[in-house]
Amino acid sequence: MTRPNELAESVKRSLERYFKDMDGETPTAIYDMVLKNVEKPMIEMVLAQAKGNQTLAAQMLGINRNTLRSKMQQLRIKG
């Protein structure tokens, strides 16, 4: 089972690679980039675990079902 520390380390390693790949360029909008790259697969995986049950998925995510539906629309996730 992945612990929160392992997830944080994975994000850290990914960002280290990202900065290295930038080769001295100054990146912008990192916050939005990270959220977009984490949020969509997280919601997709939780929905899969909940077998498409949006109420259960929202509970698992710790968010309101309406918030989940809004995120799904924004991220173009089919329900």
Q: What is the pLDDT of residues 44-73, one digit of tens each?
A: 999 999 999 999 999 999 999 999 999 999
Domain span at residue 26 reads 4-74
Domain annotation covers residue 30: yes
Q: What is each CA distance from 13 to 2, 7, 54, 58, in whole angstroms?
A: 15, 10, 31, 28
Q: Which two tokens stand for residue 18?
A: 């990202």
**How large a percentage of the chain has pLDDT more than 90?**
82
pLDDT at position 1? 60
pLDDT at position 5? 86
Domain annotation covers residue 27: yes
Domain count, the chain: 1
Domain annotation covers residue 31: yes
Task: Looking at 1-79, list the stretches that DSSP marks H as alpha helix, in order from N- to C-terminal side.
Answer: 4-22, 30-49, 54-61, 65-74
Domain annotation covers residue 43: yes
Domain annotation covers residue 79: no
pLDDT at position 2? 58
User: What residues contact residue 46 under an 8 Å CB cut-off, 6+ apart?
Assistant: 57, 60, 61
Q: Is the pLDDT of residue 79 over 90?
A: no
For residue 11, the domain's CATH number is 1.10.10.60
**How large a percentage of the chain has pLDDT more than 70?**
96
